[in-house]
Amino acid sequence: MSELTIVALPYLHPDAQLLIEATMADLGRRYEGEGDATPVDPGEFEAPRGAFLVGYLDWTPVASAGWRSRGADAELKRMYTAEAARGRGLARRMLAAVEDSARAAGKVRLILETGLKQPEAIALYESAGYLPVPGFGHYKDHELARSFARTL
């Protein structure tokens, strides 16, 4: 397996956008819609308010994850691994990189929203020590939404 190289990029960088579009398509298939309708300002993912990370295998963008500030917390957004690259532990490495980035920025907790139609995501977060928390985001009242958090 090739080495995963993780790079911080602007949210609007073409490689980041490629993965964000794939994320939205994946969520659209799972939830029969357009993806995640959570309002996002690309500037939220710029230091010191956040970061957006892209993972590369042989300089092909295959994974993404970002965080944005929510007070003392960091909110995980746009966590995604390309279908062809799944099953290699890349998501776990991206999650660790996001945690490290948020921790370095002084954030005390990483929070996230996911959904019941993403069982592999829920399994990843639970195995990484994330615990259920009350809903907090755009989908806090949606019956399929689940929120998790972990102290950094």
pTM of structure: 0.96
> What was the pLDDT predicted at 34?
82
Element (DSSP H or E) covering residue 141: none
Assign residue 39 the CATH number of its domain.
Answer: 3.40.630.30
For 47-90, the pLDDT digits (tens) are 999 999 999 999 999 999 999 999 999 999 999 999 999 999 99
Rg (the chain; Cα; Å)? 14
The band of 1, judged by pLDDT with boundaries at 50, 70 and 90, is: low
* For range 117-141, the mean pLDDT: 96
- Is 81:63 a contact under the CB 8 Å cutoff? yes
Domain count, the chain: 1
- Of 28, 15, 74, the closest CA to residue 50 belongs to 74
Per the structure, the complete domain to which residue 124 belongs is given by 4-151
Q: Is the dihedral of CA 142, 144, 145, 147 positive or negative?
A: positive
Question: How far does the chain reach from its first CA to its final CA, in angstroms?
Answer: 29
- Read out DSSP for 110-138? EEEEEETT-HHHHHHHHHTT-EEE---ST
Let me know: does 95 contact 123? Beta carbons within 8 Å: no
Q: Which two tokens stand for residue 93?
A: 């490495």
With a pLDDT cut of 70, the percent of the chain lying above it is: 99
Is residue 39 pLDDT above 70, yes or no? yes
Higher confidence at residue 35 or residue 85? 85
pLDDT category at 33 given cuts 50, 70, 90 is confident
pLDDT over threshold 80, residue 7:
yes
